[in-house]
Amino acid sequence: MARRMHLPAQPFSPALMPSTPPNLPAAGHLLRSALWVLMLLAAPFARAFDTVVLDAGHGDFDRGAAIGYVYEKHLALDTARRVETLLRKAGLKVVMTRSRDVFIPLPGRAAVGNRYGNAIFVSIHYNYNRGGSGAGVESYYYHTRGYTLAGYIQAYLVQRTGMTNRGVKHASFHVIRETTRNPSVLIECGFVSNSTERARMMTGEFRNRIAEGIAQGIVAYRKAN
Ligand SMILES: [Zn+2]
């Protein structure tokens, strides 16, 4: 659960990239085309990142989404630890904004996201809606450079879990807005408020699938960029 300001959905398919850049103001077709040419030319010269900053949402008094004794802060930390293990096995360096049940203010999390060059930032959350009808996974970006990363993670997360694909979305969440040095995304890994999804996410086996989806998306994004 993360405070949101606006969220137009964006369809995404890695296989179909690139088509048009996301979220550009009405800049004219020519300018958009020119920007894409520049991005494509720049891509081969960009060094592959070697560090992943993982941000487990909430912590301590900030439980995040909570139903009974199921707290988002615990689910997010457990998932982040599983992703950490998988990424280290894949040869990547991992930095955790928190690895225990502590509260870190949002600016402190973004500061870690900006501390390393050659890195990406991935914030892990679980979702909540009133009434409990919400279902599925969604991935957020704020700056355009996070869009492709969000798309890869979203695609692999859906593939690995079979959960409803709510798509790649744009929103002004603090940690992804203020992490400006590196591509940054925020992942909502299912609804604590949905009794069916909550029952699944309470099992380590399912949180492992979620972690595999996130880690596989990161590794595939790295190979493609
Ligand atoms: Zn959250």
pLDDT in tens, 116-155: 999 999 999 999 999 999 999 999 999 999 999 999 999 9
Q: How far is the CA of 123 from the centre of ligand 1 (A)?
A: 9
Residue 123, domain extent: 48-224
Lowest mean pLDDT among 29-33, 45-49, 104-108, 170-174: 29-33
- Helix (H) / strand (E) containing 58: none
- Residue 22 maps to a domain: no
pLDDT of 223 higher than 60: yes
Q: Which of 161, 122, 148, 154 is nearest to 16 (CA)?
A: 148
Distance between CA 171 and CA 199 in Å, rounded?
28
Q: How far is the CA of 116 from the centre of ligand 1 (A)?
A: 24
pLDDT of 49 higher than 70: yes
Q: How much is the average pLDDT of 83-109?
A: 98
Q: How much is the average pLDDT of 25-45?
A: 53
Q: How far is the CA of 173 from the centre of ligand 1 (A)?
A: 10
- Residue 36 maps to a domain: no
Length of the chain: 225
Question: What CATH number should be reported for the domain holding residue 125?
Answer: 3.40.630.40
Residues 6+ apart with CB under 8 A from 53: 94, 95, 96, 97, 112, 113, 115, 116, 119, 120, 121, 122, 182
Residue 36 is predicted with a pLDDT of 55
Q: How far is the CA of 168 from the centre of ligand 1 (A)?
A: 17
- Residue 134 maps to a domain: yes
pLDDT of 67 higher than 90: yes
Q: How far is the CA of 187 from the centre of ligand 1 (A)?
A: 9
Q: How far is the CA of 5 from the centre of ligand 1 (A)?
A: 14
Q: How far is the CA of 100 from the centre of ligand 1 (A)?
A: 16
pTM comes to 0.83
- Residue 112 maps to a domain: yes
Q: How far is the CA of 19 from the centre of ligand 1 (A)?
A: 31
Distance between CA 125 and CA 74 in Å, rounded?
10
Q: How far is the CA of 23 from the centre of ligand 1 (A)?
A: 24
- Look at the chain and report how many structural domains it folds into: 1
- Residue 118 maps to a domain: yes
- Residue 73 maps to a domain: yes
pLDDT, the chain, mean = 88
Q: Binning pLDDT at 50, 70 and 90, where does residue 6 land?
A: very low
Q: How far is the CA of 188 from the centre of ligand 1 (A)?
A: 8
- Residue 173 maps to a domain: yes
Q: Binning pLDDT at 50, 70 and 90, where does residue 189 land?
A: very high
Distance between CA 23 and CA 141 in Å, rounded?
10
Residue of 19 and 203 predicted with greater confidence: 203
Q: How far is the CA of 218 from the centre of ligand 1 (A)?
A: 20
